[in-house]
Structure 1
Amino acid sequence: MTITIASQSLSQLPETVAEIYQRFPSLETEALKFVQTPLRIIDKPEGVLYVTQKEYAVLKNDDENLSVIGTDDATTCHMVVLVNRKESSVCVAHIDSTDDLDEELTTMVLDIMGQQHAESDFHLELSIVGGYRDEMHKSEMLTLDLLQFYNDLPVNFQLKSLCVNSVNTRTSNGINWPIIYGVAVDLQSDFTISPAKFNLNVRGPCLSLRSSRFLSSQCSLHRVYHTGEGIFRINPFSYQYHSQMVDWIHKSDDFILNNFSTSPAVEPEHFPQEMKQVFQFVVHNPFPLASVFKFNKSVKYVPSPQGQWLKL
């Protein structure tokens, strides 16, 4: 099985994104339209499910409390959207690497497939958004790695959107910047994908804890929510505590950007402050398996109609 684009099979993956656009010009045309779509500002928490870096979630369109799912702050990272039309469900993931993640990425596909995988005509709709023409070419390598992974799976994928690399790049003062940093998927509008910005007040529970996963030595991709379960779940993990973190909290924004970002010149303006909040959290919880995940239990929340996350 393989990826198809406008009914054509991607039997052999090109070596560059430019070659993909050249071979399938409709992909580039649609991506150019997408980057010109008005940005959707998500500023109210009601009905919103936000996934951050190293996370994914699965929603069905009949979820009683949630109607929008999305992610934000992607520079070299990619945002992957998988739609299962037969089960009226969508998966959104924020992926920073494919290294050592074959099992997690495969589990994510199985989670969105549900019970349909045995049907011969079954396929998933695949959209990949994010990444830009960065100096180290990290974005392009991630794009190609993701396409190779999905192309090798025994699942039919229809690549509906590929908004990456040159199409998602603007230049200002000699620096390349991403055009789109975030996406939102509307469950009530046929899974329409929009460029989006999520304000900090709508990003769900325990954001500093979830963001601290980047300090873990273990490569990971975590499912945080599935409509079938109805629980926002943060599974136990540990991270590396450094005594210098106390000092990092008081360092300049430039220090934070240059030491903790893959793309320091183009990060969102709140990045340094968000990182300092993560360091502050870790300083207060140097051993999360003891203070946060007591008895090795997950931290769980349920959504309310008012947009609050209630701890179980």
Structure 2
Amino acid sequence: MPLLVRGRRVELGRPAGGLLRAHPHLVEKAKVLTSQPVQTVGPKGLLYVQQREFAVTTPEDGSVSILGSDDATTCHLVVLRHTGAFDLQQDDVHLVTYCVTELNDREEKDNHFPIVYGIAVNVKTGEIFHATFPDKGPDEDLRSARTLTGAQMINIYDAETKQLHIGPYFWMPFPHVDFWLEQDDEQLLQNLSTSPLAEPPHFVSHIRSTLTFLKDHPFPQYSLFPDRKPRTYKKNEEGLWVQVCSDKI
């Protein structure tokens, strides 16, 4: 799956600096994104993608109008636009917007922070914009617990049925969870973050909530997925996720 910029193939191991010198228009494209004011996106019509998740849909999707993700400090958010089922193709990838490393960096008191922590995609138009998401559901703690226990990338959305599938997930009891829950905020920040100086303000409360969830559900195959079926959601008439009973699927 070759990577191209304006029709020219890019060596995948090429350093970012060399790529930008060869294609200076990418710098300008990044400036357009980082100069945007952040928009707060509500839950209506939103499909929020957490770490180690991906979702695929089309402009014809009548349920989802916005795809988005945020809280990225050392992570990368990747948006791929394709006219078909991208995950089944071996086509070229054309790099249009590249906003990483120094292109997405601000310095404050000798510390470095991302300018853009999150992005959203308008499913109808393909527009990408700077965004934040107060609502990261459904099942935010469950999905975060899966990530914290070392899960792999998974697809969470079926664009044909317009259903979001969460699970079934299985993990072993989280090591020393009681110890971690006893620690103060600074200890959690320093030990459970890849970028403790750059995390958003809600990072520690989010980690505590996830750890508590892991403590409450050490064996999710019994407490959460006894029938080994996913938790399935669809958008209602208000554009909000509602759980679909398994016997109605």
TM-score between both structures, scaled by the size of structure 2: 0.91
Contact 2:188 2:204 in 1 (8 A): yes
Matches for 1:149-298 after TM superposition, within 5 Å: 154-188=90-124, 190-199=125-134, 202-218=135-151, 220-242=152-174, 244-298=176-230
CA distance in 1, matches of 2:87, 2:64: 21
Q: Which runs of 5+ in 1 are unaligned?
A: 90-107, 111-116, 118-153
Residue identity matched to 1:109? D
Residue identity matched to 1:3? L
4+ long deviations beyond 3 Å: none
Structure 1 vs Structure 2 CA RMSD? 1.8
Instruction: Return the offset for 1:295.
Output: 2.7
Contact 2:149 2:174 in 1 (8 A): no
Residue-by-residue CA offset, 1:202-255 (whole Å, 9 max, x unaligned): 22211000001233244x001111321211101222224246323433422111
Q: 1:67 aligns with which of 59, 65, 68?
A: 65
CA distance in 2, matches of 1:79, 1:257: 22
Residue identity matched to 1:302? K
Contact 1:63 1:227 in 2 (8 A): yes
How many residue pairs were aligned?
A: 244
Contact 2:45 2:66 in 1 (8 A): yes
SS at match of 1:21: helix
Contact 2:45 2:240 in 1 (8 A): no
Residue-by-residue CA offset, 1:33-68 (whole Å, 9 max, x unaligned): 2211221111x2111110111111112122222211
Between 1:209-218 and 1:240-249, the stretch displaced more is 240-249
CA distance in 2, matches of 1:161, 1:242: 38
CA distance in 2, matches of 1:210, 1:217: 11
Between 1:55-64 and 1:242-251, the stretch displaced more is 242-251
Q: 1:80 aligns with which of 71, 78, 81?
A: 78
TM-score between both structures, scaled by the size of structure 1: 0.74
Q: Which residue of 2 aligns with 1:148?
A: none
SS at match of 1:293: coil
Q: Which runs of 5+ in 2 are unaligned?
A: 245-249
Instruction: Return the offset for 1:24.
Output: 1.1
SS at match of 2:36: coil
Residue identity matched to 2:8? Q
Contact 2:54 2:155 in 1 (8 A): yes
Instruction: Return the offset for 1:274.
Output: 0.6
Contact 1:14 1:20 in 2 (8 A): no
Considering fraction of residues, name the structure with more strand.
1
Distance 1:255 1:172, change over 3 A: same
Residue identity matched to 2:9? S
CA distance in 2, matches of 1:56, 1:262: 21
SS at match of 1:78: coil
CA distance in 2, matches of 1:165, 1:227: 33
CA distance in 2, matches of 1:157, 1:295: 40
